[in-house]
Amino acid sequence: QALIGEEIELGPFKYKVDEGLALRNSAFSFIDTALQHLLEKSGIQYIMNQVLMESVTLIFRKYIYSLIADPADDIQILSFQILNKLTQLAPLRLVSSVEEIVKSFEEILVKYEKSLGSKQEGERVNDCIRAFLRAVQSLSKIEHIESSPRFKDFLQERILKNEKLKEIYQQIVTL
């Protein structure tokens, strides 16, 4: 997705203003809230729920990389929350997309690994890392996910062999 924004110059400094952030944040917050209500309700709205689930799953599968790789931390966290809910609502649909999800996870993990050692990044990046690891843990609970060697390798080699990530992951698992 292209960022809606402009580059602003303040003397020798340039920075980008993302004018589409509020719109993306609202859209993903709506999806997150709708999925939360799907988890809480059943019965009369079954058909509507199924249509919404199918739509959200297709959108998520099609745009998985751009959602997770969004430069805005808020959007990344919302994307991980949506993924967590989809693991409960449509686990088998996600199993068929696990290769694309892991590919996105591998790319975003590079950014997080660089930030782990930095004190400057602060609590915001730690929140993103925790949301990311919650999504990994939610995926690991899906039945038949172990049939994906790429996911197993990702979990074993990238998460559990990194001491800092392993510590945070273990905290999430014990909750």
Say what the pLDDT of residue 147 is: 85
Closest CA to 94 of 28, 145, 169: 145
Say what the pLDDT of residue 155 is: 94
Q: Which residues contact residue 156 at a Cβ distance below 8 angstroms, ignoring those fewer than 6 apart?
A: none
Give the model's confidence band at 168: pLDDT under 50 very low, under 70 low, under 90 confident, else very high.
very high
Say what the pLDDT of residue 44 is: 45
Residue-wise pLDDT for 24-56, tens only, equals: 888 888 878 877 776 666 554 555 566 666 666
Say what the pLDDT of residue 50 is: 63
Closest CA to 84 of 135, 42, 48: 135
Please state, in angstroms and as integers, the Cα–Cα distance from residue 128 to each residue in 12, 28, 76, 123, 135, following that order: 31, 16, 7, 9, 11
How far apart are alpha carbons 175 and 172 in whole angstroms? 5
Say what the pLDDT of residue 64 is: 67
Residue-wise pLDDT for 70-124, tens only, equals: 778 888 888 898 888 888 877 877 888 888 888 888 888 888 887 776 666 678 8
Which residues are registered as beta bridge partners of 7?
16
Residue-wise pLDDT for 6-18, tens only, equals: 778 888 888 787 8
Give the model's confidence band at 1: pLDDT under 50 very low, under 70 low, under 90 confident, else very high.
very low
Say what the pLDDT of residue 90 is: 76
Q: What is the pTM of this model?
A: 0.76
Question: Which tokens is 2 given?
Answer: 């292209």
